Each structure stands twice: as C-alpha cells, then as structure tokens.
Amino acid sequence: MGLSLIISAIGGLLGGNVMGMLSKGLSMGGLGNTIAGAVGGAGAGGLLSGLTGGAIDPSVATDAAATAGSMDIMGMVKTAGLGAVGGGALTGVGGILKGLMGRG
C-alpha cells in the first residue's frame, strides 16, 4: 500500500496543479493547489480500495511487482491517473469553497 499511496499522491499533486492552471477561478495558489492535489490523490486511491473492499485495487500489481523487484508500468500509470483525477477534483472543490467564502 505504501508505494501506491506515494504514486497516488504524486498524481494528485500534478492533477491539482493542472486544475489550478486551467481554471484560474478555482486556483488556491501554488501551495494550496499542491496540498489539495496530494491529499485528493491519496484519498482517491484509498477510497477506491475501501469502496470495493480491495476487490479493485490499482496498486496491487504495482506493490507485488515492486516486492518482486520489477515494476509494473501499467499499474503505476493507472494509480497515478486515479490520483490525478482525485487531486484535480479536490482542488476544484476547494477553489469553489474558497470563492464562496470570499463573497460573504
């Protein structure tokens, strides 16, 4: 689980920063986008595993391959992609909330 968490967080970090660059209205600044992205990415990986009871865990192949001494590239790409989606989503939600709080 450790390697997949790191890969998901890195994917989320990238997804959060891309979301901030593409939509300036949802951006929370560089540090805010990075933190929200990493948390969202790690959360997305854990959420998928928790909702499915571990039946669908994109990191299983990655962790098993790392233990065996080889890397499963497709497992890593899937994990990073899921993290990027989760990171971008959490950054967008955070940006929306930031905008709503600024209006009050």
Which of 72, 16, 76 minimizes the C-alpha distance to 43? Answer: 16
Instruction: Give the Cα separation of 62 and 74 in Å (integer).
Output: 8
- For the chain, 104 residues long, the average pLDDT of each consecutive 10-residue run is 85 95 92 96 81 55 52 82 94 93 74
pLDDT at residue number 1: 63
pLDDT at residue number 75: 80
Cβ atoms 89, 24 nearer than 8 A: no
pLDDT at residue number 37: 95
pLDDT at residue number 31: 96
In the chain, the amino acid numbered 98 is: K
Cite the beta strand spans of the chain per DSSP E.
none
The backbone region for 29, taken as left when phi is positive above 0, alpha when psi lies in -120 to 50, beta otherwise, is: left
